[in-house]
Amino acid sequence: MNQADLHTHTTASDGLHRPSENVRMAKEAGLAGIAITDHDTVAGVEEALREGERLGIVVVPGVEISTAYEGTEIHVLGYYMNIQDPLFLARLADQRKVRDSRNEGILNRLGELGIPVTMEELREIAGRDDNPDETIGRPHIADALVKRGVVGSIQEAFDRYLAKGRAAYVDPPPRITPMEAYDWIREAGGAAIVAHPGLYRKEELAEILLDGGADGVEAYHSDHSPEQAERYRQLAIARGKIVTGGSDFHGARKGGVYHGPIGNRTVDISVLERLKAAAR
């Protein structure tokens, strides 16, 4: 095998498996490489790099940054940044503050609806201490709602409460633009990729985001159809940009592995050389 899965989450954000477990699963799936791309943090990367060396599988340091463009939440993937770069780490810490206040806003809304979920409860569900480098996200809140019996599934939690426009949805405080995230990633020596354009429900955004200065696009994603993947691949090729892909693995939450199992979407390992070259 010569394939790499370039999009996975761990317990450093809203994934359910430790970074070392993701790497082990990738190895068992026969992959040659795996990236760790947690939301707004690189806290899981070092553990994964160590496990990769131990098992003989390439681990790519990555991140997935939450941004907004004209009211749509856009995710930007970064690869091969210097994960010790002080400015980059400070910028991610700011992102986590925005995320924390968004989370508090959601909990306040839920409280008003008579569902008093607390931050402590979320941490307990996430199974961790209050580590400021790790992020809490909506999937943890969804877990809490399922656990309390408020809803029957994670999907129902999003559909009724947590998705944009639903009962407990809170617009995050001003988020950075995707273009700012590209700059952050590149200033830290990394390559910036538009994550899963098929999830934004505005098809023109793929081109706008790519032409806004990204190094490439995630054409292959667990929630993209073959037709979408082909369209995004063509957009990138026409512009001489990089085509990436990955599962967006988060682990199996009650009733489903979203977005897909490790290795569900992959690219050839040679894509890593292109990412490194773009990362310069």
Binding interface with Zn ion (CB under 5 A): 14
Please state, in angstroms and rounded to a whole number, the distance separating the CA atoms of residues 139 and 119.
13
Query: Least distance to Fe ion from the beta carbon of 196, Å?
Result: 6
| Residue with token string 């409460």 | 161
Q: For residue 16, which amino acid is it? A: L
Q: How is residue 8 annotated by DSSP?
A: B
What residues from 137 to 156 belong to the interface with ligand AMP (CB under 6 A)?
137-139, 155
Stretch 238-267 residues interacting with Fe ion (CB under 5 A): 248
* Residue 251 in the binding site for ligand AMP (CB under 6 A): no
Q: Contact letters (x/-) for Fe ion, 186-205, by CB under 5 A?
A: ---------x----------
> Radius of gyration over alpha carbons of the chain, in Å?
18
Q: How far is the CB of 220 from Zn ion (least distance, A)?
A: 18
- Spatial separation of the C-alpha atoms in residues 267 and 174, rounded to whole Å: 34
Question: Which is it for strands 3-5 and 191-194: parallel, antiparallel or unpaired?
Answer: unpaired
- When CB distances are held under 5 to 8 angstroms depending on the partner's kind, the choice from Fe ion, Zn ion, ligand AMP, none that residue 157 binds is none
- By CB under 6 A, is residue 274 in contact with ligand AMP? no
**Cα dihedral sign for 43, 45, 48, 53?**
negative
Q: Which residue has the tokens 């955004």?
A: 205
The single residue among 11, 22, 66, 222 that binds ligand AMP, judged by CB under 6 A, is 66
Binding site for ligand AMP (CB under 6 A): 14, 39, 66, 137-139, 155, 158, 163, 250, 258
